[in-house]
Structure 1
């Protein structure tokens, strides 16, 4: 055991006490966070506009602060970008995280001096919690790679601006700098494919022990490593590679292919970071759910997903949530986001401690006929049947086909790129449809009532989704293919990639 691994093991024990405090005192810590951030922001422009000085309780807060998305918050963000101080949070943001929104185009999310350390602390704690639980600390001594955006920043109103992953790259602790890969120069390459090739060259003969990133882009890295090594498995290229850290998408659709590339079922840690805050991480190898970070400068609210688009939806504190119910996640943060809809849906699988699963995006669903099919349902249906048949799903997305051919009912159209495709596509489609009906009674009623016909699968060519993302200028980084769309903007573009 190297010196870093030894010290990491000791430090993991200290960190574990803080994590255990979060596990045991979720509601109390959320109440403390609520009082603190409202008090701190009372004299800001937003705080004055919304009467923060008079807020004593959560009920007071709900009366004064409406639910907002980015467009609703934009007038305040614009004031920050014009150089004003004390707009959403005291002073000016330390950074603006640039991110692409599905409805708002480019968004600029404030990161304050108080919120920036929470991102770093949460990422560190996820790793040290794993080390404490498993006793595996060897990864701390080896090389670590984080497939991320460029760390180069520009400025708006003297505020540094960049992608979250690039901002975080500028805050890697000094004790990990010698372990970190790729080099700064390589990390700054903007073209994703050129960047991956450069990373392959830099890391090929290194002792990689930890690899982190969004699964589809890590798969691209693994594929190119394997090609360079004449088809070898990743375990043979990096024999000490023992930990894969990911976030951003559900891992299950990618798991089989990634484990096949690596050569064994590697330990994984799922994280839930966002530009708005680091929300949760997987705290046990025995449980896929994520520990909600209740002491990370964020006060959470929860809206039952089915009420989200109501004029006056129910808003709940942590203490009032129910298990196995879908909620839209709302954030109030020590960077100045208030009543802010992050766009994700989650459900609680435990209240002692508070643990969640990310179930999808509030705007990524199909309800062209009132079925309200969500991402969790389509992913589980597809992966259940694919697993039973030993199939390899590379990527997929689903959209409604309202304008079906003459004498046909409308249907859900599934665009799937397989690594290993089904021998009988019709049988496969029927099985997936059956599972989806079992998971969503509204969808089942529409099938049974002859409003919809069963789903239809269109098999796409190899690399179809990579080619599509490239054509959209969204290849790599934090970009992801939406699992579900309620329109055909993506579907119509994917038709050119259908395998004849």
Structure 2
């Protein structure tokens, strides 16, 4: 055992013990964060305008702090960008994390001195939990690759600004610098396709043991790697590769694709980082459930998704949630986001400790006919179809077809790019529809009531989704394809691409 592996195991014991301690008193920990955040921000512009001095309990908090999305907080963000301090949080942000919004254009998410350490410790602690439970610390002695955005930062009002993954690249601890790949110069390449090719050339001869990133971009790296080497599996290229770390989108639809690309079993860890804060990670090998980080600078609130669009929807703290309910996740952070709707929906699968699954996006759903189909439902349907009928799905998206050009009843249109076609495409589509009916009673009623016809599957050529993302300037980095849309913007763009 190397010295580095030995110390990793010792640190893992400490982190797991600390996690068990705060996880054993979830409400107490979360209420401490609520009071701490209020106390620290009481003299900011936002704190004075929202009566933080008058807040003594959670009921007061809900009265004083409204729910907002980015557009609702944009006024305050713009004031910070103009050079003002003490707006949402004391002083000025340490960084702005730039993200792409679907309705807000580019978003500038503040990261403070207080919040930055939690962005780093989240990923570190996930790996330490893995070491503790699996006993596998060998990956720390080999090379690790993190497919991420460029670490080159610009400035806005004197505040360093860039992608979250690029910001985090500046905080890789010294003891991992020799293990970390790609090189700084390669990481700074802006064009994603050029960057992936450079990463392949740089890593192909290395002892890669841990590979991390967003699934579609890891897939592109793996495919380019196999093209470059002529090997049939990634496992042949990297014999000591043992750990895959993924986040950003649901991994389930990629499982079969990655099994074929890698050629053997490797452990997979899922995490839930966001520019707004590090929210959850998989703390148990073999389970994709994510431990909600209750002691990491965030006071969480939860709104039942089926009531979110009411004028005054109910808001709950951690002690009031139930398993099996779809909630919209609301954040209050030590970077100055207050009542912030991050846009994600989650479901609790355990309350001792609090573990979650990400079920989708509150804005990414189909309800053109009142069905309100969500991400976890379509992902369950595509998984079942692959299990029953073979095939490997590379990527997919679903949109309503309200006025079919061929006439007849409207339907849900599934645009799927396969790595390998199923044995029977008609049966594949039928299973998708059956599972969706089982998961969503409203959808079933529409099918049985002859309001909708069963789902229609459209097969796309290889690389169609990459071409689409490239056409809108969002290929690579942290950009993700929406799996669901309540309009036909993506679907119609795919039609145009297939005609070219």
Q: TM-score range by the shorter chain?
A: over 0.9
2:188 counterpart residue number: 188
State whether residues 364 and 482 of structure 2, in contact with CA within 8 Å, keep that contact through their aligned partners in structure 1: yes
Structure 2 counterpart of 1:80: 80
Say how many residue pairs are matched. 500
Describe the SS at the equivalent of 1:365: coil
- Trace 1:87-166 onto structure 2 (pairs within 5 A): 87-166=87-166
1:475 aligns with 2:475: yes
User: Structure 1: where are the runs of 5+ without partners?
Assistant: none
CA–CA distance in structure 2, aligned partners of residues 424 and 260 of structure 1: 20
Aligned counterpart, 2:17: 17
Counterpart CA distance in 2 for 1:177 and 1:197 is 22
Q: Deviations over 1:317-336 (max 9, x none)?
A: 00000101000000000000
Aligned partner of 1:31 in structure 2 is 31
Q: Residue 484 of structure 1 aligns with which residue?
A: 484
Q: Distance in 1 between matches of 2:3 and 2:259?
A: 30
CA drift of 1:217 comes to: 0.4
Moved more, 394-403 or 419-428: 419-428
Written as runs of structure 1 = structure 2, the 5 A alignment for 1:437-456 is 437-456=437-456
Unaligned ranges ≥5, structure 2 = none
1:292 aligns with 2:325: no
Q: Is the 8 A contact 1:461 1:497 kept in 2?
A: no
State the match for 2:422 in structure 1. Answer: 422
The equivalences for 1:37-56 within 5 A come to: 37-56=37-56
Aligned to 1:457, what secondary structure does the other structure show? strand
Displacement, 1:499? Answer: 9.3
Q: Does 1:240 align with 2:249?
A: no
Asked whether the 8 Å contact 1:364–1:483 carries over to 2, the reply is: yes
Aligned twin of 1:388: 388
Is residue 389–residue 424 contact of structure 2 (8 Å, CA) maintained in 1?
A: no
Q: 2-side partners of 1:456 and 1:231: how far apart?
A: 36
- Is contact 1:233–1:263 with CA below 8 Å preserved after alignment? yes
Q: Secondary structure at the match of 1:9?
A: helix
Task: Report the counterpart of residue 281 of structure 2 in structure 1.
Answer: 281
CA shift at 1:67, angstroms?
0.2
Name the CA distance, whole Å, in 2 between partners of 1:474 and 1:103: 15
How far, CA to CA, are the matches of 1:246 and 1:427 in structure 2? 31
Change (3 A) 1:406 1:268: closer
Superposed displacement of residue 15, structure 1: 1.1
TM-score, normalization by structure 1: 0.99
Deviation at 1:271, TM superposition (A): 0.4
Question: How far is 1:498 from its partner?
Answer: 4.8
Query: What's the CA shift for 1:420?
Result: 1.2
Q: Please, what is the CA RMSD of the aligned residues?
A: 1.1
Looking at structure 1, the residues matched to 49 and 20 of structure 2 have their Cα atoms a distance apart, in angstroms, of 38
What is the match of residue 332 of structure 2?
332
SS of the equivalent of 1:462 reads coil
Equivalent pair of 1:460/1:497 in contact (CA under 8 Å): no
| Aligned equivalent of 1:313 | 313
Deviations 1:463-500 (CA, angstroms, capped at 9, x unpaired): 11111111111111111110000000000011135599
Instruction: Give the structure 2 partner of residue 230 of structure 1.
Output: 230
CA distance in 1, matches of 2:498, 2:351: 45
Sort the Cα spacing of 1:45 and 1:265 in 2 relative to 1 into closer, same or farther, 3 A. Answer: same
